[in-house]
Amino acid sequence: MRHKATVVCAHPDDLEYFCGGAVSVMIRDDWDICLIIATDGDKGTQDREMSAARLASERRHESMKAAKIVGISKVFFLGKEDGELRSDNSLRPAITRILRSEQPERLITFDPWRKYELHPDHREIGFAALDARLAARLPLYYPEQLRDGLENWTIREVLLFSTDNPDYFVDISDTFDLKLQALRAHKSQWETIWQETRSDLLHEAERMGAMAGCELAEGFKRIYIPEGPVSIKFEHERGD
Ligand SMILES: [Zn+2]
């Protein structure tokens, strides 16, 4: 059976920038990847002549091009306004619905606890994705979705990118070029600063690679939620 993962991002180019190498490795290893893009990235420009509507449409086009390069099977656009994401009922039900219908084993998103994360959407989407994971497994969250024929779904593995605490590394030495090629499809964002961006990404992949013991890597914080009741023990109760 093929494995399935869902990547939840705030902006059209987040996947390629933060985890494009690892996702490409997963696809090579027979994973099906579904991508949720919450906003159209319709404020991502310095160009004062550009309209939000035109930028949104260009960026959807760029996203589809990049998804094709990486080999992502499905892309969901939630069409929220750039910069305005909130992890509340304006966003969570839509993500929950997709998790219940796609039924992935692995959820990949931003680490919302990263220190000094300046982009509000990057904080909010991480919380929204994790909260939607919980909602997806409990029937009293958004019960109308179950009446529509969807089932509860439990995701046991979470990988958080853009994290201060990476403890799970993917060797991207063979897919780094593909990551760059896919990121470059987001022309509206990176074309004018491509050389700097490329060298920043190379530097970061080398830094993660040094931690992982390979040439180039992407790092994640991994959370695994075991089956059954979780027993929480405090340090003084352990007896070891
Ligand atoms: Zn972003």
- CA 92 / ligand 1 centre spacing (Å): 18
Cα 97 to ligand 1 centre (Å): 22
Cα(10) to centroid of ligand 1, in Å? 5
**Domain spans of the chain, in order of start:** 3-237
Q: Cα–chain-centroid distance for residue 85?
A: 15
Question: 167 alpha carbon to ligand 1 midpoint, in Å?
Answer: 22
The one-digit pLDDT tens for each residue of the chain (240 residues) are: 799 999 999 999 999 999 999 999 999 999 999 999 999 988 888 888 888 889 889 999 999 999 999 999 899 999 999 999 999 999 999 999 999 999 999 999 999 999 999 999 999 999 999 999 999 999 999 999 999 999 999 999 999 999 999 999 999 999 999 999 999 999 988 988 999 999 999 999 999 999 999 999 999 999 999 887 666 666 665 554
List the one residue out of 89, 100, 61, 101 whose CA is nearest residue 77.
61
User: Ligand 1 centroid to 82 CA: how many Å?
Assistant: 9
Count of CB atoms situated within 10 Å of the CB of 162: 21
Supply the pLDDT for residue 168: 98
Ligand 1 centroid to 199 CA: how many Å? 19
- Bridge partners (DSSP) of residue 107 are 6, 158
CA dihedral 152→156→161→163, nearest 10 degrees, is 120
CA of 135 to the centre of ligand 1 (A): 24
Q: How many angstroms separate the alpha carbon of residue 104 from the centre of ligand 1?
A: 22
CA of 54: how far to CAs of 51, 58, 82, 119, in Å? Answer: 5, 6, 14, 22
Q: How many A from CA of 134 to the centre of ligand 1? A: 23
CATH superfamily of 3-237: LmbE-like (3.40.50.10320)
Q: Give the per-residue pLDDT at 237.
A: 59
